[in-house]
Structure 1
Amino acid sequence: MVKELKRKYRLDMLGLVETKRQLVTRFDVVKIWGNGCVGWEYVESVGASGGLLLMWDDGFFKMRNCYKSERWLCVEGVLPENNINCTFFLVYGAHTRGEKLAVWEELSYMAGLCPGTCCFFGDFNEIGQVEERGQSCSRIDRALVSLEWLEAFPETRLRGGPRGLSDHCPIIVEEKRLRDGARPFRSLDSWFTHEGFLRLAKEEWKGLGEIPFTDKLRALMAPLGRWHREIFGDMDKKILRFEEEIQKIDDMVGNGNYDGTVEARRKPLVTCCEKWYVRDMDKNTRHFHNLASARRRNNMIDSLLINGRMIRNQARIKLAIREFYKDLYHQERSPEVGFRDGLVERISEEDSIALEMLPSPEEVK
């Protein structure tokens, strides 16, 4: 997903939520960012949950101070291009109401310490209105900016990136004045696993002769682009069609247009995407971990309506579910009825003898 965003957009700053990493090294950051001209800060995960990672281009932002909490990461500094003081907050909201209030109080306090141009972004686990909560997704990924930010960057726009197989979609904050410059050279990991890539690259590189290195890279983009379309073109088109259809379904759910067939339409599309990703794209074990995590999140019951009251405490939810099925499937004890209970009358001795007598030929006939 990160490589897809970097290929489509010029990323000056990138925040990742739920990294599930207790330690992030420079090697990890350079591998994600693509080059060594990167600054970063991170908040370690608690076991296998949580974790924040914020990265930025060294030429775009110069950090002066950094503040951290379990649920947010704040970097304060300056944008050298226009000498504007900026503060960025990467947020991963809590799940319970009490913890959410604590996070909002901390962010409010930090906003007071870092007044001026501020941008908050991440997964807030909050909705502004009830209508924003659909039956399969909610608008909990947000970017919030201060009035000072809008005064400094009036062309700011917010858009959603491709959701793909995740239950979240990337949020992209754009400012038109910050998007000038040459297009950087990009490559895909899947190229290096194809036997014809290195041969093509060597032949094209030798044919360019003695020209500056950057000019060689620029000239190499055209033949590599043609080669990619020839080798991977059909796969790209199929994946693109699947992802576009998934995005349309997600938009329908987000707008409240939901019925029983919507999720049934989405599941086979996701299955097809998984098949193509695994067959032809990078063999990345993290992809499978993300799929497993997504399934766990989709199957998780984070709230339950019990006797007309919405409950979000996990212990109470588990207890309520266990008691419900215990009452539903328990075996009722049948009453034992005996002759002495007075419910059945004792027959007479004459009737008893009559019942034991063999039937006469007339009765049989």
Structure 2
Amino acid sequence: MSNFWGSQGFGMESVDASGLSGGLICLWDDSLFHLVSSVKNRHFIMVRGQLVGCNSVVNYLNVYAPQGIPAKKALWEELSALISNYDGFWIVGGDFNAVRFREERRNCSFKPSCANNLNAFVFESGLIEYDLRGMQFTWRSDNGNKLSKLDRFLVNSDFFNEWPEARVQALPRKWSDHCPVILIAKAVNFGPHPFRIFNSWLDKEGFSEVVENACLEFAGSGYHPDTALIKKLGFICGRIREWRDKMIQKEGEFRQVAENELEDLELILESRDLSEEEEWVMSENKKILAEMEFSKAMDLRKASNVIHGLSIGDNWVSKPSLVKKGVFNFFRSKFVEECEARPTLICANLKKISSSDASWLEAQFSRDEIKAAVFGCGDDRAPGPDGFNFRFF
């Protein structure tokens, strides 16, 4: 492996292949990653250690899942137990030999039970998946007719919070029926992060009152209507920021109370059975934590929807200044008239609409028409530059 790595300064853990299938290897730079322990199995390698410049322990699981559905389910259960026993950052990557959703297969049979088992493992282990970029599928048959997304990276919320803008990039396949997949955690600076409304906020206590009070308190007289709207949204944004900071603090306190009560009840379980009331308290606290984790995961997925680069011509561009220039040139081209001189149409007998119809077409839009247009856009859309999405409106 030193010939492959190019020097002797590396660490390594491996699992031998079984016949023509299997075989796993993990390699790392000894100057950047210091191994503490490892766990090996026919279907996975776990390496645990310290990454230079990182304050938390890093756990990496290299997975090569078996073919059978029962065997895969047993592997998910084993990995879930392993993840629950170790703290720190978790990265789980490899060939899962399974898909999570029907659209991750093309011209292949979709097995709901297999997908449900994988999704249960992801949810119960508190893992989050980055969107795959570059390609939609990671495996294809020899003739190219069958395609599946079998390879992926999953991380825990601690890792996601530290690197919310990380991305998973699929590279061109050359020597295998699988394409290489790489997790890139390098931060790209596109400037300050804009304000953004999350759908989960709209149902939280106090949000509607904050927005309504801000609308009533805003004094926008004397401004042009467009300017007044911009200033009004800015005023509302400031009030929402204040509410958000208080809400995060309050939810953190709720989470701490729920976790403390669960720890107390688990200690009680070691000496006696729980009473009916204590069982209800345990169930409610687990429900509270699960709802908080789910809401947090959805918000994090929205927050990670950033542009990491663009394909401009035949080149992939990731430098922020070039990406911004590419976006600017794309939209500017939509407002350029390619035809320099239009021909004149002379036809005396051409049918025309009536003057009343012409006036109707040129009339200003009514308030009801504007409201119908905005409300008809659907609520699950990307936010505008001001951070407000259609569901908010």
TM-score of the pair, normalised by structure 2: 0.37
TM-score of the pair, normalised by structure 1: 0.40
Q: Report the structure, 1 or 2, having the larger helix content.
A: 1
Q: Which structure has the larger Rg over C-alpha atoms?
A: 1
